Amino acid sequence: MSIQTELQETIDSLVRRGRGILAADESTPTITKRFQAVGIECTEASRRSYRELLLSTTGIGEFISGVILYEETLGQSASNGLRLAEIAQRQGIVPGIKVDKGTIDLANAPGDKITQGLDGLGERLKGYKEQGARFAKWREVYPITPANPTLLGITANAEVLARYAAICQSYGIVPIVEPEVLIDGDHTIERCEEVTEAAQNEVFAALKRHRVQLEAMLLKPSMVVAGKGHPPKASPDEVAKRTLRVLRRTVPAAVPSINFLSGGQTPEEATANLNAINTAHVNVPWLLSFSYARALQEPPMAIWKGKPENVAAAQEAFLHRARLNAAAQRGAYTPAMEKGSGAG
């Protein structure tokens, strides 16, 4: 099979109406914090059990087309002996892999960050592909302060994202490009819109320089929201208007799907905002979907608490949250569904 055919088959499997992507790629320090918040001891066994809980949820493939895994998870087997990636595949869910190595301070740009992991990426991709991964994800972050992001921060992060994406495609791996504008801070929604537009413009200029095939990649952007320290929160309609305006100005029509990150929003906020985006748009060229972590996982994790007797209830909560976001992706979500009414 040619690389081009591989890429297209993966895109066709991921970009599906009424489905989105589960981000289950939390690093060990990140998932440790989330486990501790709900009283779960973080061990290799507990991380495996939790991710097995998610991937083995009956019917989840009806709403989830892909899952981003952490390197540890890609190599793990479930309690029944099947590899976790294979459990996902049996649900009709495409396994993917987080390939970046986290952020460090960007030299000569105080307050900005840059993501590590390009060295040896090609060899790692070969190994991940042998384990079943068909797409990858790389995250760059953009803090907002009165001085950040700097022009250097915006251009350097875009260059890294483009280099990563080009390497992925050369190995037949679909890249998810994630320029995350952070919600931390007290900035206005207008400032977030300004930064998001500048960051995404530079990302697509860099992707063009590196000859990345836009038809064989996915964009995972932030929604345009105010900083969490700047109340009150904008309405879903306001978020949708500003987010769509930025997308129209920055994202070429060749990109098949835009899968938003939740970026610190509550599960309910992330679903309501996605629904507003899908009801407000008129004739956009992209599928507008989700690639959520906490906004899908927060309810099931809080119910599970690391106890086997809570698995069924946690899976029910996870399936419900996935169903609501799938409805929002079709513009068919209503707040009444939060309590189960009309969620089917």
| Catalytic residue positions, numbered | 178, 220
Which tokens go with 290?
């989700």
Token pair in block for residue 108: 């000569």
Cβ–Cβ under 8 Å, residues 246 and 199: no
Encoding tokens for residue 129?
A: 């592909």
For residues 157 and 118, the answer to whether their CB atoms sit within 8 Å is: no
Using alpha carbons only, give the angle 181, 139, 262 rounded to the nearest 5 degrees: 55
- Which H or E element spans position 278? helix 267-280
User: What are the phi and psi torsion angles at 95 (to 5°)?
Assistant: -80, 135
Say how far apart CA 92 and CA 87 lie, in whole Å.
9
Measured distance CA(297)–CA(293) in Å, rounded: 6
Contact 167, 121 (CB under 8 A): yes
Determine the Cα angle at 63 with ends 62 and 64, to 5°: 105
Distances 267 to 15, 87, 167, 216, 318 between C-alpha atoms, Å: 22, 25, 33, 29, 11
d(CA 241, CA 156): 29
With contact defined as beta carbons under 8 Å apart, do 282 and 245 qualify? Answer: no
